[in-house]
Structure 1
Amino acid sequence: MTSSRYLEPGKSTAVFNGLIRWLTKHGLSVWGSRVLGVRGRKSGELREVPVNLLPFEGKQYLVAARGETQWVRNLRAAGEGQLTVGRRTETFTYRELSNEEKPAVLRSYLKRWAFEVGTFFEGVDAKAPEEKLLEIAPGYPVFEVFTR
Structure 2
Amino acid sequence: MAYLKPPWFTAKIFNKAAMAFGIGGAATLTVTTRRTGSPQQIPVVVPEVEGVKYLVSTRGESEWVRNVRVDPNVRLGHIEFVATEVPVDQRAPIIAVYRPLAGKVVEGYWQKLPDDADHPVFALTPAG
In the superposition, the TM-score normalised over structure 2's length comes to: 0.90
| Structure 2, gaps ≥5 residues long | none
CA contact (8 A) 2:18 2:24 kept: no
Paired residue for 2:9? 12
**1 CA distance for matches of 2:58 and 2:103?**
11
Paired residue for 2:100? 111
Give the superposition deviation at 1:55: 1.4
Give the superposition deviation at 1:53: 1.1
RMSD after superposition? 1.7
CA contact (8 A) 1:5 1:68 kept: yes
4+ runs deviating over 6 angstroms: none
Paired residue for 1:136? 115
Q: Match of 2:47, SS?
A: strand
Report 1:34-113 matches (<5 A): 34-84=27-77, 89-113=78-102
The number of equivalent residue pairs is 126
Kindly name which structure, 1 or 2, has the bigger radius of gyration based on alpha carbons: 1
Give the superposition deviation at 1:123: 7.2
CA contact (8 A) 1:65 1:120 kept: yes
Cα deviation, 1:81-100, whole Å, max 9, x if unaligned, reads 1111xxxx011002211111
| Structure 1, gaps ≥5 residues long | 24-28, 125-134
CA contact (8 A) 2:32 2:40 kept: yes
CA contact (8 A) 2:17 2:23 kept: no
**1 CA distance for matches of 2:17 and 2:51?**
29
CA contact (8 A) 1:32 1:54 kept: no
Letter in 1 for 2:104: F
Q: Match of 2:5, SS?
A: coil
Identity in percent: 28
Q: Match of 2:46, SS?
A: strand
Q: Match of 1:61, SS?
A: strand
In the superposition, the TM-score normalised over structure 1's length comes to: 0.78
